[in-house]
A and B are shown apart, each in its own frame.
Chain A
């Protein structure tokens, strides 16, 4: 690596003195530094033990688990429906996509078809969530690196979408809007209007974020050529999402294992070249434009229709029927207290969340509860490559590298 020649192991006190004099030398040894778990740029509670030589990172050991809540164990104790709110708390910044990934996995286990309108609704809301996720990432990363203005601009726009979520399902962050077999409720005309307004309002704002960053010497200096990972290493480490695509690997489940309404939409997958922090930033900003495109197409193509699959043994009855009809109430009660009978078997279903591949591996032995549920969390996998990517960079770059993974510890520790 290029940093080798910059290292000095013996520091002379006064280099102008003649060589013949006995020079006092400074003792050099590696320094251990704990970063976190309460550091603002560690995105929650992550501790990293850094071995330093001067200000260069020689080795870094992530210490995780401060937010471990045993979600996989909890899943074994509840029915499939009861686990949906738990998925909100995995990646609490982007709850919708976790719901989506989980519901898709259960639907694959049950071999359940979701109605077309529900697929469009799911795609629209998932893409809105992707915009929120990337805005949150951009603001946090910029703040870590020292560009504070972008943080305020991103949060201003993110607030509009969070209010939109609030109107959609009554919650801003822990949404639980997806259901197995469909979605909880439909978009109202007011929501559609607001979303259309936002789609017109938003693209110029993305340009604005870029103006702040792409001509900013500090931003360029701290992202270009920082935390480079080659395509082979990125694949071998199992990185996914923008972190993998930044290294030039074209891997996006929305394109190559298409699901929901994505195959009916036209969009491109931005792929980087250099595998550095700047490329990963560029990919995420380009994905903002793509998300806007996808939402526009979905709103145009969407037809009227049911929003929940009609399989009474699995899917929940409409809420208004629960309050007026005895059988529907019994059905709702049975589904929540006993759950539905899932066939025995095992499936893995991966979904392209904005952080990367969020997968659920479910083992069922029949009955209403999963026998084993494993969450393949992109943040956890990305932390595995931290040491590899941080080696040789400065301490201050460690913050950049947490940021570039878009790590959320709730998902990492589960």
Chain B
């Protein structure tokens, strides 16, 4: 087993729901209430030392009980290792802790997740839409139930009859 995963398993007896390693990528799934604690550990612990945030992403699993998955990816500049931190969120209560207090770069990345997937981040300093317009009300584009061609005003377009030449 990967030493990083071992260390995390030893430190957190409860709260860590899954540890995985595939194609050299290390991933940890934690429960929602433990998220900030684990992230703090990854950031501050000298053996972990994850000071660099790579990306924040989200995955939609519409058939699962806890529908959304929020994914953070970290890198350690000094130790040169990577880790992926995942947390599951149900649709009824789409809120997770923001990690902007630990990594400043999480600000824009979490705003993008909110914009695209509709997941709210607790204690985020400025949670607004970032790529879609501020007044966009048609939902969250990257959810699986959002149609590829968009929805809203485009549905009202009539097909034009063939123009006679």
Which A residues form the contact surface with B (CB < 8 A)?
A: 64-65, 68, 70, 72-74, 76-77, 108-109, 111, 233, 235-239, 249, 251, 256-257, 345-348, 350, 357, 359, 361, 363, 371-372, 374, 376, 380-381, 383-385, 388, 413-414
29 of the cross-chain contacts (CB-CB < 8 Å) are: A65-B131, A73-B141, A73-B142, A73-B146, A74-B148, A235-B51, A236-B53, A236-B104, A236-B105, A237-B104, A237-B105, A238-B52, A238-B105, A238-B109, A345-B23, A346-B22, A346-B84, A348-B25, A348-B73, A348-B82, A348-B84, A350-B54, A372-B57, A372-B59, A372-B60, A381-B108, A385-B104, A413-B131, A414-B131
Q: Type the 1/0 row for B48-70, where 1 means its CB is closer than 8 Å to any CB of A.
A: 00011111010110000000000
Say yes or no: is B80 at the interface (Cβ < 8 Å to chain A).
yes
Given A357-B54, A359-B55, A345 and B130 contact (CB-CB distance below 8 Å): no
Inside 8 A of A64's CB, which chain B residues have their CB? 130-131
* Complex-state Cα separation, A237 to B100, whole angstroms: 10
Inside 8 A of A346's CB, which chain B residues have their CB? 22, 25, 27, 84
Beta-carbon contact of A65 and B130 below 8 Å: yes
Beta-carbon contact of B59 and A73 below 8 Å: no
In the complex, the chain A residue whose C-beta lies closest to that of B104 is A236
Beta-carbon contact of A388 and B104 below 8 Å: yes
Inside 8 A of B142's CB, which chain A residues have their CB? 72-73, 372
Given A65-B132, A348-B25, A256 and B109 contact (CB-CB distance below 8 Å): no
Which B residues form the contact surface with A (CB < 8 A)?
A: 22-23, 25, 27, 51-55, 57, 59-60, 71, 73, 77, 80, 82, 84, 103-105, 107-109, 112, 116, 129-133, 141-142, 146, 148
* Complex-state Cα separation, A361 to B109, whole angstroms: 14
Inside 8 A of A236's CB, which chain B residues have their CB? 51-53, 103-105
- 6 extra A-B contacts, CB within 8 A, seeds A73-B141, A413-B131: A65-B129, A237-B104, A251-B77, A372-B57, A385-B105, A388-B104
* Complex-state Cα separation, A23 to B77, whole angstroms: 57
Beta-carbon contact of B57 and A361 below 8 Å: yes
Inside 8 A of A256's CB, which chain B residues have their CB? 80
Beta-carbon contact of A108 and B23 below 8 Å: yes
In the complex, the chain B residue whose C-beta lies closest to that of A236 is B104
In the complex, the chain A residue whose C-beta lies closest to that of B136 is A65
* Complex-state Cα separation, A371 to B144, whole angstroms: 10
Beta-carbon contact of B107 and A68 below 8 Å: no
Inside 8 A of A73's CB, which chain B residues have their CB? 141-142, 146, 148
In the complex, the chain B residue whose C-beta lies closest to that of A72 is B142
* Complex-state Cα separation, A348 to B59, whole angstroms: 14
Within 8 Å by CB of A363, from B54, B59, B104, lies B59
- The winner among B80, B112, B141 for most chain A CB atoms within 10 A is B112
The minimal Cβ–Cβ distance linking B85 to chain A, given in whole angstroms, is 12
* Complex-state Cα separation, A16 to B87, whole angstroms: 66
The minimal Cβ–Cβ distance linking A258 to chain B, given in whole angstroms, is 12
* Complex-state Cα separation, A72 to B25, whole angstroms: 22
Given A65-B130, A347-B23, A77 and B148 contact (CB-CB distance below 8 Å): yes
* Complex-state Cα separation, A376 to B112, whole angstroms: 11
The minimal Cβ–Cβ distance linking B69 to chain A, given in whole angstroms, is 9
Beta-carbon contact of B108 and A383 below 8 Å: yes
- The winner among B105, B107, B141, B148 for most chain A CB atoms within 10 A is B105
* Complex-state Cα separation, A71 to B26, whole angstroms: 27
Inside 8 A of A65's CB, which chain B residues have their CB? 129-133
Inside 8 A of B54's CB, which chain A residues have their CB? 238, 348, 350, 357, 359, 376
* Complex-state Cα separation, A249 to B80, whole angstroms: 13
The minimal Cβ–Cβ distance linking B40 to chain A, given in whole angstroms, is 14
- The winner among A64, A76, A361, A413 for most chain B CB atoms within 10 A is A361
The minimal Cβ–Cβ distance linking B54 to chain A, given in whole angstroms, is 6
Given A348-B84, A359-B54, A376-B54, A384 and B23 contact (CB-CB distance below 8 Å): no
The minimal Cβ–Cβ distance linking A32 to chain B, given in whole angstroms, is 16
Inside 8 A of A251's CB, which chain B residues have their CB? 52, 77
Inside 8 A of A70's CB, which chain B residues have their CB? 141
* Complex-state Cα separation, A68 to B132, whole angstroms: 8
* Complex-state Cα separation, A381 to B53, whole angstroms: 10
* Complex-state Cα separation, A361 to B23, whole angstroms: 13
Beta-carbon contact of B108 and A371 below 8 Å: no
Inside 8 A of B129's CB, which chain A residues have their CB? 65
- The winner among B57, B141, B146 for most chain A CB atoms within 10 A is B57
The minimal Cβ–Cβ distance linking A112 to chain B, given in whole angstroms, is 11
Beta-carbon contact of B112 and A380 below 8 Å: yes
Beta-carbon contact of B108 and A380 below 8 Å: yes
